Chain A
Amino acid sequence: MPTVKVNVFRGDASGGELKRYDVPTDPGMVVLDVVHRIQATQEPDLAVRWNCKAGKCGSCSAEINGLPKLMCMTRMDTFEEGEEITVTPVKTFPVIRDLVTDVSYNYEWAKTIPAFKPKPKEADGTRRMYQDDVERVQEFHKCIECFLCQDVCHVIRDHEEDKAGFAGPRYFVRLAALEMHPLDTNDRTELIRQKYGLGYCNITKCCTDVCPEHIHITDNAIIPLKERVVTSTYDPVGWALRRMRGKPATLAAGEPEPPSA
């Protein structure tokens, strides 16, 4: 059982510091196991969020050696032997305690997004959608709300003041999911431009790089949204018509087709 040296941030809203722990490990352990072992044997009040331990719930986000990651999916054997490991809370959100941060920013944005509004059913009372049509939106539905993309995005990471005007990549994914949903009829284009701050995004792709669900946030969500916003600005009537006729099966000629995954 090799013992690893782990530095963990301990503190709260008023500040804190890294504390060093020596932790014996077993084969196959992940960073979350190490944090739990510190909790059970050395620091009973070490605060950490987790639920599924399998990369499905998005609770255990943190920065491991400065990189935004899920603790439950980061295996200890991916580090060099003897390497010191540092675990800190995600930086973009205020610390509550230790590794737990206040992520209410995200839940507040979620409330503002206009709801899904389906078109009428088929004449036979069913909903018919084809696998090819749903697949690209299913990619967005894979989001586990770990908020790692929000953490890494420079627009809000270092600019508290910009948070009020920028929903962040997680919500661009959500908006794209709604806008490209084969049944949805709500039009959010104006809001996307004015309220959600899509314009601040300069397509650095940092969000895509950290997404544990491998969602192509920039290529498949942000860029198509940007194109839609531009198209609708110059051609509002055409945009409205296209939406009424349904999408994406009936994409009008000239409407940008999102790059495929």
Chain B
Amino acid sequence: MNDAVKRHEYDVVVIGAGGAGLRAAIEASAMGVRTALICKSLLGKAHTVMAEGGIAAALGNVWKEDNWKVHFRDTMRGGKLLNHWRMAQIHAQEAPDRVLELEEWGALFDRTKDGLILQRDFGGHRYARLAHVGDRTGLEMIRTLQDHAVHRGIDVFMETTMFRLLTEDGRVSGAIGYDRQKGELALFHAKAVVLATGGVGKAWKVTSNSWEYTGDGFAMALEAGAELIDMEMTQFHPTGMVWPTSVRGLLVTEGVRGDGGTLKNANGERFMFKYIPEFFKAETADNEAEADRWYEDKTNRRTPDLLPRDEVARAINAEVKAGRGSPHGGVFLDIASRRSAEYIKRRLPSMYHQFMQLAGVDITKEAMEIGPTLHYIMGGVRVDPDSTQSTVPGLFAAGEVAAGMHGANRLGGNSLSDLLVFGRRAGLYAAEYAKRLARMPLLDEQQVSRRSQEILAPLERRGGENPYALHAELTDTMQDLVGIIRTADELRQALTRIDSLRTRAARCAVASGRVYNPSWHLALDLRTMLLCSEAVTRSALLREESRGGHTRDDYPKPDPDWGKKNVVTRLRDGQVELRTASLPEAPSELRALLGEEKPSAKVAVPAGAE
């Protein structure tokens, strides 16, 4: 077997070419350091391309009352105050500049009547705040960044999967993996590494995520000695498609509700009014008339259809359990009876096509059937809020793989802005770190050969388990036992199953051949998915409360003590080890922004809104 390793040397290596990775690479290369960008798919196909609804930034183009303080408050409250305050602050302050910068690089957002960037309503945001392009915002964003990166001459390694990080004395020295097209081993010797690898949705059965989301970044960080926090915080987006089965989980953008769509149960009842939690009572409309007025006039309280995602997902779950669901086990999302066909097609063109082509449903005439789908993970690599550096020197993380920014629940639109804000910072600080290092870190050749063997091992086994079958068992386990509503009993069962799956995965055998062999790739991805699944499940077992994306049937209420703690995961001698750490407390002037408030009475009508 050919175990020759192709070697490259860079100052900064960015793993992942979604919004976060692209933005990081652009910044690092602008800092004048040798930069490489690596991704598992072709360039431009990362998750970011699928984002629909928009980028949250307090530009104040539609509601001039909007500013970073309101955005900060919305983000923190949406995250059930488990966010790292400093990340939420930086994010709210810098997001407008990052969005405007995209315009300088050629992005074309939808416009207000005055010719500025138009913003739309989304769950948990007090004002219409999401810059967007119809319902294909992610495409605009990734293509703008991609073209900009290409013109900067950044070296891009497509269809290349990184498997493990390399370290010298506890700090990063590079990464090793394989080229999927050729099947060759690829080693990147580097001073600094930025992880921008996204999430781990592929461990669940019903998910909006693609094959790429196998938690590689979480696993690589853990194995290099870094810490993860709050892995139990998983976001189930309330509106995924439920029918036909083959598209189950595909996302239906929150923009449908932002643009006037409402949720209904089988009796035609707008059930969200029954599920307004105490925490959001003061700012949420408790009757249909006020909720409907809110779209045009923000002196009204917000419709409960646009409560944060965790609230809406739980409500849908409860309606279905109570027997008031739709024929295929979801509920109805209706925009057809509330907006004109012309408006729907203009505002939500890809939703229109998605339902028409994949489900045979005309959303301008009929309600959609929707239900929760695993969408995002708030937990991830623990980073310094300003520099994005992990607890391992030289290892930085940004985007979905990093944690802290979103707390217990992410608001829609806050991911795309997070990618830009912290992607840029990761590139900047990784480049600075690389410049400060006097010499290239040394490569440990023993590590290199050990990792090389691990990568090639599945190809050498014969007659083992089928990786596809094991993957299906894992997704069933996570779906059934680590879903929206959790109990200690089920979480323990999940751990037992994950354990046995891990033993079996180690025996997994694959088809021969190194060139573009997906069975080999999946066998390697199983390892990272299993490690992440264990981290999620054990963190969920430890956190004995319900908060945001983590709901325990046996501890149904938020617990103020747990509200001050992060669950920290790390590896010790190859074993997952958990502890809690206290959440940094926001300075008093920021804490003062977080209280409950009713919308102010002197809010103006939106400038240039439609």
| Known contacts A59-B45, A75-B358; A128/B518 CB under 8 A | no
B542 at the interface (CB under 8 A from A): no
Chain B residues whose C-beta falls within 8 Å of the C-beta of A201 in the assembled complex = none
Interface pair B50/A52, CB less than 8 Å apart = yes
A33 at the interface (CB under 8 A from B): yes
**Cβ-neighbour of A45 out of B109, B350, B518 (below 8 A):** B518
Interface pair A130/B115, CB less than 8 Å apart = yes
Q: Please, how many angstroms separate the alpha-carbon atoms of A44 and B520 in the complex?
A: 9
| Known contacts A28-B359, A128-B114, A142-B136; A40/B468 CB under 8 A | yes
Chain B residues whose C-beta falls within 8 Å of the C-beta of A129 in the assembled complex = 108, 111, 115
B354 at the interface (CB under 8 A from A): yes
> Which of A28, A39, A73, A181 counts the most B-chain CB atoms under 10 A from its CB?
A28
B515 at the interface (CB under 8 A from A): yes
Smallest CB gap from B244: residue in A? A28
Q: Please, how many angstroms separate the alpha-carbon atoms of A115 and B106 in the complex?
A: 9
Interface pair A44/B519, CB less than 8 Å apart = yes
Smallest CB gap from B357: residue in A? A73
Q: Please, how many angstroms separate the alpha-carbon atoms of A145 and B49 in the complex?
A: 11
Interface pair A45/B511, CB less than 8 Å apart = yes
B310 at the interface (CB under 8 A from A): no
Chain A residues whose C-beta falls within 8 Å of the C-beta of B100 in the assembled complex = 127
**Cβ-neighbour of B468 out of A44, A52, A118, A144 (below 8 A):** A44
Chain A residues whose C-beta falls within 8 Å of the C-beta of B212 in the assembled complex = 51
As a 0/1 sequence over residues 43 to 68 of chain B, the CB contacts with chain A under 8 angstroms (1 = contact) are 11111011000000000000000000
A138 at the interface (CB under 8 A from B): yes
B565 at the interface (CB under 8 A from A): no
In the complex, identify which listed stretch (A96-104, A188-196, A231-239) lies at the interface while the others stay far away: A96-104
Contacting A at CB under 8 A, from B22-52, are 41-47, 49-50
Q: Please, how many angstroms separate the alpha-carbon atoms of A143 and B44 in the complex?
A: 11
Smallest CB gap from A77: residue in B? B360
B510 at the interface (CB under 8 A from A): yes
Interface pair B140/A51, CB less than 8 Å apart = no
As a 0/1 sequence over residues 95 to 121 of chain A, the CB contacts with chain B under 8 angstroms (1 = contact) are 011101011000100110001101000
**Cβ-neighbour of B139 out of A48, A56, A100, A184 (below 8 A):** A56
Q: Please, how many angstroms separate the alpha-carbon atoms of A81 and B108 in the complex?
A: 45
Chain B residues whose C-beta falls within 8 Å of the C-beta of A57 in the assembled complex = 41, 44-45, 49-50, 210
Smallest CB gap from B103: residue in A? A127
Interface pair A130/B513, CB less than 8 Å apart = no
Q: Please, how many angstroms separate the alpha-carbon atoms of A109 and B468 in the complex?
A: 37
A55 at the interface (CB under 8 A from B): yes
| Known contacts A44-B466, A48-B518, A50-B210; A75/B357 CB under 8 A | yes
A20 at the interface (CB under 8 A from B): no
**Cβ-neighbour of A47 out of B133, B245, B516 (below 8 A):** B516
In the complex, identify which listed stretch (B71-79, B143-151, B489-497, B579-587) lies at the interface while the others stay far away: B143-151
A19 at the interface (CB under 8 A from B): no
Chain B residues whose C-beta falls within 8 Å of the C-beta of A144 in the assembled complex = 49, 139
| Known contacts A45-B518, A47-B517, A52-B49; A107/B43 CB under 8 A | yes
Interface pair B108/A138, CB less than 8 Å apart = yes
B590 at the interface (CB under 8 A from A): no
Chain A residues whose C-beta falls within 8 Å of the C-beta of B147 in the assembled complex = 110, 115-116
Chain B residues whose C-beta falls within 8 Å of the C-beta of A49 in the assembled complex = 41-42
B246 at the interface (CB under 8 A from A): yes
B278 at the interface (CB under 8 A from A): no
A12 at the interface (CB under 8 A from B): yes
| Known contacts A28-B243, A110-B150, A116-B147; A45/B513 CB under 8 A | yes
Smallest CB gap from B523: residue in A? A44
As a 0/1 sequence over residues 115 to 158 of chain A, the CB contacts with chain B under 8 angstroms (1 = contact) are 11010000000111111001001100111110000000000000
Contacting A at CB under 8 A, from B187-211, are 210-211
Chain B residues whose C-beta falls within 8 Å of the C-beta of A51 in the assembled complex = 41, 45-47, 49-50, 210-212
Give, as a whole number of angstroms, the nearest-CB distance from B256 to chain A: 15
Interface pair B49/A56, CB less than 8 Å apart = yes
Interface pair A141/B140, CB less than 8 Å apart = yes
Give, as a whole number of angstroms, the nearest-CB distance from A176 to chain B: 13
| Known contacts A55-B354, A58-B45, A115-B151; A47/B103 CB under 8 A | no
Interface pair A29/B244, CB less than 8 Å apart = yes
B353 at the interface (CB under 8 A from A): yes
Chain B residues whose C-beta falls within 8 Å of the C-beta of A103 in the assembled complex = 42
Chain B residues whose C-beta falls within 8 Å of the C-beta of A254 in the assembled complex = none
As a 0/1 sequence over residues 65 to 80 of chain A, the CB contacts with chain B under 8 angstroms (1 = contact) are 0000000010100000
**Cβ-neighbour of A100 out of B138, B472, B516, B519 (below 8 A):** B516
A242 at the interface (CB under 8 A from B): no
B480 at the interface (CB under 8 A from A): no
A259 at the interface (CB under 8 A from B): no
A26 at the interface (CB under 8 A from B): yes
Q: Please, how many angstroms separate the alpha-carbon atoms of A47 and B212 in the complex?
A: 15
A54 at the interface (CB under 8 A from B): yes
Smallest CB gap from A128: residue in B? B115
Interface pair B467/A44, CB less than 8 Å apart = yes
As a 0/1 sequence over residues 347 to 386 of chain B, the CB contacts with chain A under 8 angstroms (1 = contact) are 0001001100111000000000000000000000000000
B576 at the interface (CB under 8 A from A): no
Q: Please, how many angstroms separate the alpha-carbon atoms of A27 and B359 in the complex?
A: 10
Interface pair A97/B516, CB less than 8 Å apart = yes
Give, as a whole number of angstroms, the nearest-CB distance from B279 to chain A: 34
Interface pair A46/B518, CB less than 8 Å apart = yes
Interface pair B468/A26, CB less than 8 Å apart = no
Interface pair A142/B115, CB less than 8 Å apart = no
Interface pair B510/A44, CB less than 8 Å apart = yes
**Cβ-neighbour of A98 out of B41, B140, B516 (below 8 A):** B516
Q: Please, how many angstroms separate the alpha-carbon atoms of A54 and B181 in the complex?
A: 24
| Known contacts A39-B468, A52-B49, A118-B104; A141/B143 CB under 8 A | yes
Give, as a whole number of angstroms, the nearest-CB distance from A119 to chain B: 11
Q: Please, how many angstroms separate the alpha-carbon atoms of A234 and B247 in the complex?
A: 54
Q: Please, how many angstroms separate the alpha-carbon atoms of A142 and B94 in the complex?
A: 27
A211 at the interface (CB under 8 A from B): no
B343 at the interface (CB under 8 A from A): no
B603 at the interface (CB under 8 A from A): no
Q: Please, how many angstroms separate the alpha-carbon atoms of A236 and B485 in the complex?
A: 68
Interface pair A28/B247, CB less than 8 Å apart = yes
Interface pair A59/B41, CB less than 8 Å apart = yes
Contacting A at CB under 8 A, from B506-555, are 510-513, 515-520
A207 at the interface (CB under 8 A from B): no
On B, residues with C-beta under 8 Å from A are 41-47, 49-50, 100, 103-106, 108-111, 114-116, 133-134, 136, 138-140, 143, 147-148, 150-151, 158, 181, 210-212, 243-247, 250-251, 350, 353-354, 357-359, 466-469, 472, 510-513, 515-520
Instruction: Give 14 A-B pairs besides A130-B111, A141-B140 with Cβ atoms closer than 8 angstroms.
Output: A26-B245, A28-B244, A28-B358, A44-B511, A52-B210, A53-B247, A56-B138, A56-B350, A57-B50, A126-B115, A127-B115, A128-B116, A143-B143, A144-B49
Q: What are 27 A-B interface contacts by the 8 Å CB criterion?
A: A28-B245, A30-B358, A40-B468, A44-B511, A45-B511, A51-B46, A51-B47, A51-B50, A53-B210, A54-B350, A55-B350, A55-B353, A55-B354, A55-B357, A56-B50, A56-B136, A56-B139, A57-B44, A73-B358, A100-B181, A107-B42, A115-B148, A129-B108, A137-B108, A138-B133, A141-B140, A178-B106
For the complex of A and B, list the 7 residue pairs with the smallest distance between their C-beta atoms, beginning with the closest. A28-B244, A128-B115, A45-B511, A44-B519, A116-B106, A40-B468, A115-B151
